[in-house]
Amino acid sequence: MAADVKGLYPNLKSDIVKRAVSRALEKHSKFSVDAREAILQLNNVCLSNVITQFESNFYIQDKGIVTGDNHLVTLANITAYYVLEPYSLVIEKAEIFRRFIDDIVWLSSFGCLSGHQEAWNSRSDRQAQWKLMVRWNS
C-alpha cells in the first residue's frame, strides 16, 4: 500500500509545526527549557519571514510553508513524524513502513489492507485538526 499526504507543505500551519518541534525537542534533546524556547522562537521567525523571488517578483508565503526551503524541509519532516506518532502501534505491526517526507510505503502480512486503513482513519485527530489527510493508493 502506498500513501501520500495531500498538500503537505501548503497545509502545514505554523501551530502544528510549533507543536511538532516542541515535542521533538522535549522528547529527543537534552536542551534546557530556555534553550528549547529560543529554538522555537527562531523557528517562528523562519516560518513567518520567508520571502521568495521569481524573476523580478517577490512573494510572501501566506498558506502553509514554502516547498523546498532548506530549513522548512526539516520542519516538514519533523511535523510528519509528529502526525504519525499516534499510529505507532499500527505502524510497528507492518513488515515494512517507510516514509520520505509526504510519501508512505506500507507492507504488512497481518490482516487485510483495509484493516490498516480503518485503524489509520480511526486515529485521525491530528489529521483532521490540521487538515493533513492521507490518500491511500492500495
Res. 134: pLDDT tops 60: no
- pLDDT per residue over 54-93, tens digit each? 899 998 877 777 776 778 888 888 988 888 787 777 777 7
Domain that holds residue 63: 2-137
Which pLDDT band holds residue 114 (cuts at 50, 70, 90)?
A: low
> How far is CA 106 from each of CA 67, 94, 111, 116, rounded to the nearest angstrom?
25, 7, 13, 9
Tell me how many domains the chain contains: 1
DSSP for 16-83 reads HHHHHHHHHHHHH----HHHHHHHHHHHHHHHH--EEEETTEEEE--SS--TT-HHHHHHHHHHHHHH
In this structure, what DSSP letter does residue 102 have? T
- Mean of pLDDT values over 12-39: 93
Q: How far apart are CA 131 and CA 110, in angstroms?
A: 29
Q: Which amino acid is at 52?
A: T
Q: What is the pLDDT of residue 58?
A: 92
